[in-house]
Structures are given as structure tokens and as C-alpha cells.
Amino acid sequence: MLARRSASDGLDIVAAMRRLPLLTLLGAALASAAGLAACGDDDKPVATTTPSVTTPTTDGSASATTTTLEAPRAFTKNTTRIDASDATGVAALTALTMYPSTARDLRPDAVAFAGKNDWRSILLASSFAAKPLGFPLLLMDGRNLPPVSSAALAQLQPAGAPSMNKAQGLRIGVSTRSGDLRTRYLTSATPAGLARAADRQLQRLRGRASDRVIVVNSDDPKSAAPAAFWAARSGDPILFTGSGTVPADTKAALQSHSNPRIYVFGNGDTVSRFVISQLQEYGTVKRVQPEEASGGPSDLSIAFAKYSDQDFGWNYKDPGHGFVFAPTSDPTSAMAAAALSSGGTYPALLFVDRSNHLEQPLKNYLLNVQPGYNDQNPPTLGFYNRGWIVGATTQISTQTQSRIDSLLEIIRTDQANQLGDSATNTAN
């Protein structure tokens, strides 16, 4: 099998650049507010009083005198971990992963803000992460930025988005105290209303309405999470429905699109047939929930990774792709990492049900897309899979990460892998 080779609306102010505390993130001390605020020349290191999160330090984890070593958890040869214990930390690390911000051209124009416990706003923010907008996400705690979000924002230093009159932030369902960051805000009393406002803002920024729309259940974050990663890849808007009825705001939002293709995430219990029939009044409706996905959120994530309909869906059925592995138990943290799908290997989400175990359906899928090589097709000309691990080792263990790494590895087609299976996918 062959594959591609991979080698409003109102303006307000956010107090985010003042009184930044010092903290440790991934073993590197973050800079003080005064130091991080300095821009300097484009490729000149950011002036800091202590090393920034993207600046190497001289204090490595191993040296010539080290006597014991643990298995790596931050990275293996085919995986990298977003090593954070909550959604706020995941969002901050993801933002700096996508925008290292060590020079002006490596910074985003603007940042999206959402509440740390508001998975619906986090989900809606994913559409703004897609190119050409490229707004990474930071999470707020009520009216304030947690220290990790403040530190990340200080390094990101968004210059202002031309499409938003140089506003530096977009607040989605959150309020803020006064400060020095220019922002726009989206607000509504209901999830469906907020989604409609986000869709309207996307249309304004892009100058047109999308011909594709995603619909998810506003009460089921696990079935909605895979949509976040596709939205970060495509920029497609996300709208909300209930299990048995379509809210008026969702109907109004759909009317602003011209006979769109509507993709619904979830089975009949999550989104009923009656809802499907209502949605059909506004466009062509397809449910992303084939029979093999009936087992739960993990199965749905696998099904969507393989799903394709015209230009919608990942269609990852062969080697040469990226994947994000996130704990099923924490869909909010998964959504907070959705911006990973806006660049790089454009990874699709795969849920991991248990910390210390990979379920057989996930193993089977990874085996089906595992790269292979032989004497005629050497590994240097092969395809490569890449994985992101989201969360702490209590959520996805080092052992599970290592197993995922082995299933992503390119192997000889005439030799069995560690699970006793052989790869069948080779380069041409």
C-alpha cells in the first residue's frame, strides 16, 4: 500500500503582560515580565533574566557522572509528550510548541482565550487555530490568567491580527480585567449562541461562509473532541445541538451558509435521528459514526482518523501521518492540544482509554498504518508516522508511550514487530 511521504465583536483589554511570576515549566525557569517584554532584533535571543521555556539551559538531565536513568517520558524516537497535568498547562505548552516565538516571524498574530473549565469554548477556539489565522489557545481562570498562561503569553507576544484591526486576542466566552492587550470578544448566554457568534466571526475574518459545518452534542465532550483537531486543520466552524432538538441559534447559523455539507459527530444516542432530519433542512447531512465506532469515544476517534468524504476528513489509512494520543478520561485537555493539528504533521486525535494499556482496536489501527521497508525500498526512502502524547504519565504511562512508539516505528516487511505482526506498507 502506498502513501504520501512525510520526511464581536467589541474591543476590550486583557491584563496579561503585567506582574508575571517566575515559575518552572518543563524544567526551565520562565523569564520575568520585564525581560520577556523586550523584543530585540528578529533573530536575537529574547532578553531574559532567567532562561525562557524555549531556551536551552546548561542543567541537563544527564551527565558523565549520572548513575541511574529513567525511561524518557518527554520524548521517544517517534513521540513527543505535551507533559502537563491539566488543560491549562496543555494549552500553554501547545501554543509554544506551534509558535516558539524566538523571533518576530515565529510569533502568532493573535491568541484565542477560553475558560479553563469551559470545554465548549475550548472546542470553538480550535477553528481559529487553523491557517491562515493561526491563533493558538491560552486558558483563563475566571477573569485572570493563570501563571502558566501569563508566562506563555509573555513569550508569544502577539503583534496583532490585521484581519481584526490589529487586535492581539480573541476572547471566547470569557471576561477579563483591564490591561494592555487589545482583544475582541465573543459572548452568549448559551453554547449554541456562542457557537453562532464564533461562526459569524470566522466568516468575517475569512470573508466568506464555509461550505462545510461540523455539528456536535453540546453535552458530550468525548464525541466532540475529534472535531476539534479537524477544525484546527481546516478552519471549519463547529455548531452545537442537543441529543433531541436543534437550538434556534444553530438553525440561524446554518441559514448563513449556502446548502453546506453538515457532518455530525456521535451515534443515535448522542444525536438522534430526529435531529438529523431537522439538520437536513439546511444542507446535506452525514454522520461520522460508522458501525465500528459504536464501542465508544476511542472507536470514534479511530473511525474519524480513517474517515473521508470529498475534502472532509483525515483519510489516514496508510503510513506517513501524525497522531495525537490523548486520555479518554480528559477530553478537555485533548481539545486544549488541538492546535497541534494546525501544522507540522497535521495529526489526528486518537483516544487512549487506559493509562497502562492499549486496547486492541487502537493496536490494530496502528498496525494497519505502520510503515515498512525492505531491501528494494530502504527505510531512508520510507514513510514515517509521528505521535504526540498529551498529558502526564498518570494519564498515559511511559510504558504505553513506549508501546505507541514501537507501533509507529518503520520496520522490515519480512520481520515481525514486537506484537508479532509485520508491516505491509512500503515505499514505491
**Above 50 in pLDDT, residue 53?**
no
CA distances from 327 to 86, 275, 297, 353, 392 (A): 11, 29, 10, 6, 10
Distance separating alpha carbons of residues 266 and 268, to the nearest angstrom: 7
Could you read off the pLDDT of 77-108 as tens digits, one per residue? 999 999 999 999 999 999 999 999 988 899 99
Could you read off the pLDDT of 155-181 as tens digits, one per residue? 999 999 999 999 999 999 997 754 588
Q: What is the mean pLDDT of the chain?
A: 84
Query: How confident is the model at residue 175, as a pLDDT?
Result: 77
**Above 60 in pLDDT, residue 109?**
yes
What is the average pLDDT across 113-131?
Answer: 97
Could you read off the pLDDT of 400-419 as tens digits, one per residue? 999 999 999 999 987 665 55
Distance separating alpha carbons of residues 181 and 14, to the nearest angstrom: 5
Distance separating alpha carbons of residues 147 and 141, to the nearest angstrom: 10
Q: Is residue 282 part of a domain?
A: yes
Place of cell 491557517: 131
**Above 70 in pLDDT, residue 394?**
yes
Q: At what angle do helices 221-234 and 297-306 cross, to 10 degrees?
A: 20
Distance separating alpha carbons of residues 266 and 36, to the nearest angstrom: 44
Query: How confident is the model at residue 402, as a pLDDT?
Result: 95
Confidence band for 71, pLDDT divided at 50, 70 and 90:
low
How many domains does the chain contain in total?
Answer: 1
* Domain, as residue range, for 94: 11-18+71-412
**Above 70 in pLDDT, residue 236?**
yes
All three cell numbers of 308? 473521508
Q: Is residue 62 part of a domain?
A: no
Q: Is residue 42 part of a domain?
A: no
Distance separating alpha carbons of residues 154 and 297, to the nearest angstrom: 36
Q: Is residue 53 part of a domain?
A: no
Q: Is residue 237 part of a domain?
A: yes
How many percent of the chain have pLDDT more than 70? 78
Confidence band for 332, pLDDT divided at 50, 70 and 90:
very high
How many percent of the chain have pLDDT more than 90? 70
Q: Is residue 250 part of a domain?
A: yes
Query: How confident is the model at residue 373, as a pLDDT?
Result: 92
What is the average pLDDT across 131-137?
Answer: 97
Distance separating alpha carbons of residues 308 and 321, to the nearest angstrom: 15
Higher pLDDT: 69 or 269? It is 269
Q: Is residue 428 part of a domain?
A: no
Q: Is residue 321 part of a domain?
A: yes
Identify the top-confidence range among 9-13, 25-29, 202-206: 202-206
